[in-house]
Amino acid sequence: MREAGMADQDRGEVKQLGDVRREIDAIDAQMHGLLMERTELVRQVAEAKAQAASDAGEGSFIAFRPGREAEVLRALAARHQGPLPLAVIFRLWREIMSAKTRLQGPLRVEVFGGADPLRLWDLARGYYGSFTPMNLREEAMDVLRRVSKDRSVIGVLPAPQPDDGDAWWAMLGRGDTAPVRVVACLPFLTEEGVLPEAYAVAQADFEETGADTSLVVLTFSEAVSAGAVEAQLQEAGLAGTLYLRKEQNGQYYALIGLTGFISAGDGRLETLYNQDGIDGVQLIGGYADPVRLAGCLEKGE
């Protein structure tokens, strides 16, 4: 049957609905087959990770690899064409990769909602998949402690704001949060110039992907101006953005996003530490820079 209302001159070129649906069925079968094949490869990936962990004398391995996930999404963005929004493609792949992480071992997400728990919950759900167990917690420190106790837990926290009561980022890498690092930012698809809304933290490594932001917390014993912090970064040969300054319990902290991947042994961090007034330089992880695309956000996002 032809669809009603079709213009006469189009009739000759328009395919029958049933024919088009048969083509869709064929594509669905291919996509489904490929997804099953991809799943088999993920089983092999898990075996390789288990072997690497055992070679390193570790009993278990962390399945999720935020850097690799970012590379997969960037490859999709580079290839993508046509009217299907890239945001939809990302959502599908986030679902696939989260499910495949869970096939390799346990995974749980602990969310601190901050001022907008609904938004943070949505971001975490969209990123870590529909079926990944998730809990909403009322305190950032509660999330950090849970992450520090369990390598299969990812924490999602709001990106720091000037009026936050709790500067959770200043606590990373100290005391009972020692093994916890920032490993990703959410959302991964955003407009140019928009800062991340949330950070994911875990015991996983922040891995280099070729387009990264490293996060550093500087501690000062006295209040310091934004200009002074920026000058100190420059002096140490580091390019970055001062995200936030905060006073907490008599200490002054600055959160910096440094351009590029920086490892703990980077000499420029030492140079920074040796500058006047700086009491501490703590690398707290970082994230693969998100894909930035003009007009990618739907209205209401």
Ligand X SMILES: O=C(O)C(=O)C[C@]1(C(=O)O)C=C[C@@H](O)C=C1
* Contact code string over 23-42 relative to ligand X, x by CB under 6 A: -------------------x
Residues 292 and 117: their CA atoms lie apart, in Å, by 24
Which 181-240 positions form the footprint of ligand X (CB under 6 A)?
Answer: none
Q: Nearest approach, Cβ of 267 to ligand X (angstroms)? A: 31
* Contact code string over 74-103 relative to ligand X, x by CB under 6 A: -----------------------x--xx--
Among 50, 53, 72, 242, binds ligand X (CB under 6 A): 72
Residue nearer to ligand X on the CB measure, 38 or 149: 38
222 sits in the region (left: phi over 0; alpha: psi -120 to 50; else beta) called beta
Query: Of the candidates 242, 125, 126, 251, which has an alpha carbon nearest to the alpha carbon of residue 195?
Result: 242
51 sits in the region (left: phi over 0; alpha: psi -120 to 50; else beta) called alpha
* Residues in binding contact with ligand X, number by CB under 6 A: 12
Residue 45 found at the interface with ligand X (CB under 6 A): yes
Which 103-122 positions form the footprint of ligand X (CB under 6 A)?
Answer: 104
Residue 68 found at the interface with ligand X (CB under 6 A): yes
260 strand-pairing partners:
213
Cis before 187? omega within 30: yes
Q: Nearest approach, Cβ of 296 to ligand X (angstroms)? A: 22
Q: Nearest approach, Cβ of 68 to ligand X (angstroms)? A: 4
With contacts defined by CB under 6 A, name the span among 3-11, 61-69, 145-153, 225-233 that binds ligand X: 61-69
CA dihedral 163, 169, 175, 176 (to 10 degrees): 100
Q: Which stretches of the chain bind ligand X, using CB under 6 A?
A: 42, 45, 63-65, 68-69, 72, 97, 100-101, 104
